[in-house]
Amino acid sequence: MLVCLSIPLAAAVVGMRRWRNRAPRREDFGRREVYTGASKAESAGAQMRAAESSTELHLAHLLLQEAADQCDVVADTGERLTIEAKAELK
């Protein structure tokens, strides 16, 4: 059951990061590439990094949701987790 106590903290961290990822940053729109003069927000590299970050955060959210669901089942049934299940939740 101690494994399940870390899930709310991890969920809070992922939630804060997801909120920060959604909020556009002013400095991204005003900065320009040194060589081309194009906006950094419109560059393919910046968009790729933003997409990768968004994908990783979505995956973290799904993993936390699955772990929380497993902890709910343990709390409802009162059964102890096996060593393998504890390792998987960590």
On the question of pLDDT at 32 being above 80, the answer is no
Bigger pLDDT: 53 or 82? 53
pTM for the whole structure: 0.70
Q: pLDDT of 39-73, one tens digit each?
A: 777 777 777 888 888 899 999 999 999 888 888 88
Give the 3-state secondary structure percentages of the chain, helix then strand then coil, rounded to 5: 80, 0, 20
Mean pLDDT of 71-84: 83
Residue 25: pLDDT band (50, 70, 90) is low
